[in-house]
Amino acid sequence: MKTIVIGAGLGGLLSAARLSKAGHEVEVFERLPITGGRFTNLNYKGFQLSSGAFHMLPNGPGGPLARLLGEIGADVHIIRSEMTTVRVPLKKGNPDYGKGFKDISFSDFPSLLSYKDRMKIALLIVSTRKNRPAGNTLQAWIKAQVNDEWLIKFADSFCGWALSLKSDEVPVEEVFEIIENMYRFGGPGIPVGGCKGVIDALEAAILANGGKIHTGQEVSKIMVENGKAAGVLAESKEHKADLVISNLGHAATALLFREALSEKIHADYLKMLETLKPSAGIKICLAADEPLVGHSGVLLTPYTRRINGINEVTQADPKLAPPGKHLTMCHQYVAPENVKNLESEIQMGLEDLKEVFPGKKYEVLLIQSYHDEWPVNRAASGTDPGNETPFTGLYVVGDGAKGKGGIEVEGVALGVSSAMKKILG
């Protein structure tokens, strides 16, 4: 069985590693000179910044990505984060970090509610495990249960950090699937070596299985014969294959087989393509001599204007920064209407950080933004259309085809796993 993988991002390499392990003859084509896509390290002034992701696996050593890496035999050490904390104002009615703040544990979020609402939440935590809410956005669902602005802010900071969406954009079903996965697999972890630690291990596995990875080779066409994928055209050369896996998302993949698409026969697929919306975000990378977050987990910041959450990966792997330095990464959601105002969005993020870290010394290393063709997610979480395409033997993986309830790379892993199930049985 000959398999061609288009794109050496996380989804592509996971698929290549899994299929080469199953005995497929695998070739990966990557147009950039580097592998890893938005999940690798960028060396910047001696710091291991990332090309996209936050050097974090949302479900840590017990999650879907870790499990898939284990199945493949990719050797990655994932350090479970110690805690997730939430920075809240000292006085609830005074929602301004400038007037003082305290950090509470993620699971203590009900402590800011009235006694009556705390009881309500306690009941909901039990009842929703059996009767999952559905048919609403997270925000509309919360508002129907408990009328407290704090819960919306908390939900927005979590959705902003984890999905780069606002709580009124996320289907409540997706959030409860995420919560279920938190129970099932546990909270976040950091791979030693950062994102590239994972990518290196995957490449080693692919090469050990006899697979090939070509960088600097762009696929310009997916060949389709009799409704079935037949190979690709890369740098004007035809490569035949029995199976083609694209890591480019459905929209960009469709551009590669547009000649084979028929407006009549594939009307539903074409309609679906139009509904896909990539999510946008900004990452501000900070260097500091003293810890800013102080633990290896996530610090959520619900009372800022823009920043949703922050992690400090050097708490788990000090080698991600030069000796004695910390690398702290801050994420902010960007609303679709603000993608054209990135400068002012960034300015608000930087102002937020002054209030979140008063009196702390840090240097802004690099500010990275992601949207449209190079987004946070090619399909906003909760809207992923699955792995299938109109053609047999052609599958889409990656952040445009995530599995349900998987945050970011966990969703990529779940999507790859379901594609592998279809292919390998």
| Rounded Cα gap, residues 404 and 411, in angstroms | 7
By CB under 8 A, tell whether 234 contacts another protein: no
From the list 191, 205, 208, the residue with the least C-alpha distance to 72 is 205
Residues 197-216, interacting with another protein (CB under 8 A): 216
**Site stretch for another protein (CB under 8 A), options 13-21, 72-80, 310-318, 369-377:** 369-377
Alpha-helical regions (H) of 229-378: 249-256, 267-275, 342-356
Q: Which of 157, 246, 279, 369 binds another protein (CB under 8 A)?
A: 369
Q: Which of 368, 377, 389, 418 binds another protein (CB under 8 A)?
A: 368
Q: Which of 373, 392, 422, 424 binds another protein (CB under 8 A)?
A: 373
By CB under 8 A, tell whether 49 contacts another protein: yes
By CB under 8 A, tell whether 366 contacts another protein: yes
Count of residues touching another protein (by CB under 8 A): 25
**Site stretch for another protein (CB under 8 A), options 57-65, 246-254, 337-345, 410-418:** 337-345
**Site stretch for another protein (CB under 8 A), options 133-141, 312-320, 355-363, 372-380:** 372-380
| Rounded Cα gap, residues 339 and 88, in angstroms | 28
Alpha-helical regions (H) of 303-407: 342-356
CB atoms < 10 A from the CB of 108, how many? 12
Angle at 56 between CA 52 and CA 57, to 5 degrees: 115
Residue 329 contacts residue 353 (beta carbons within 8 Å): no
Q: Which of 11, 12, 52, 63 binds another protein (CB under 8 A)?
A: 52
Cβ closest to another protein, residue 3 vs residue 368:
368
Half-sphere exposure of 61 (CA within 13 A, CB side): 9
Cβ closest to another protein, residue 182 vs residue 366:
366
Specify the amino acid at residue 302.
P
Residue 81 contacts residue 295 (beta carbons within 8 Å): yes
x-marked contacts with another protein along 22-41 as a string, rule CB under 8 A: ----------xxx--x----
By CB under 8 A, tell whether 338 contacts another protein: no
By CB under 8 A, tell whether 46 contacts another protein: no
**Site stretch for another protein (CB under 8 A), options 90-98, 120-128, 308-316, 340-348:** 340-348
Cβ closest to another protein, residue 51 vs residue 301:
51
Half-sphere exposure of 383 (CA within 13 A, CB side): 19
Computed from CA positions of residues 107, 109, 115, 117, in that sequence, does the dihedral angle turn out positive or negative?
negative
**Site stretch for another protein (CB under 8 A), options 80-88, 102-110, 338-346, 385-393:** 338-346
Specify the amino acid at residue 424.
L
By CB under 8 A, tell whether 276 contacts another protein: no
Angle at 312 between CA 307 and CA 313, to 5 degrees: 130
DSSP notation for 235-257: TTEEEE-SEEEE-SHHHHHHHHT
By CB under 8 A, tell whether 274 contacts another protein: no
**Site stretch for another protein (CB under 8 A), options 174-182, 360-368, 393-401, 405-413:** 360-368
Q: How far is the CB of 32 from another protein (least distance, A)?
A: 6
CB atoms < 10 A from the CB of 132, how many? 14
Cβ closest to another protein, residue 32 vs residue 272:
32
By CB under 8 A, tell whether 342 contacts another protein: yes
Cβ closest to another protein, residue 44 vs residue 362:
44
By CB under 8 A, tell whether 348 contacts another protein: no
By CB under 8 A, tell whether 346 contacts another protein: yes
Q: How far is the CB of 183 from another protein (least distance, A)?
A: 34
By CB under 8 A, tell whether 323 contacts another protein: no
From the list 84, 85, 89, the residue with the least C-alpha distance to 102 is 89
Phi, psi values for residue 133, rounded to 5°: -65, 150
Contacts of 421 (CB under 8 A, 6+ apart): none
Cβ closest to another protein, residue 127 vs residue 215:
215
| Rounded Cα gap, residues 240 and 242, in angstroms | 7
By CB under 8 A, tell whether 367 contacts another protein: yes
Q: How far is the CB of 43 from another protein (least distance, A)?
A: 6
**Helix (H) or strand (E) segment spanning residue 332:** strand 326-334
Residues that bind another protein (CB under 8 A): 32-34, 37, 42-44, 49, 51-52, 216, 342-343, 345-346, 366-375
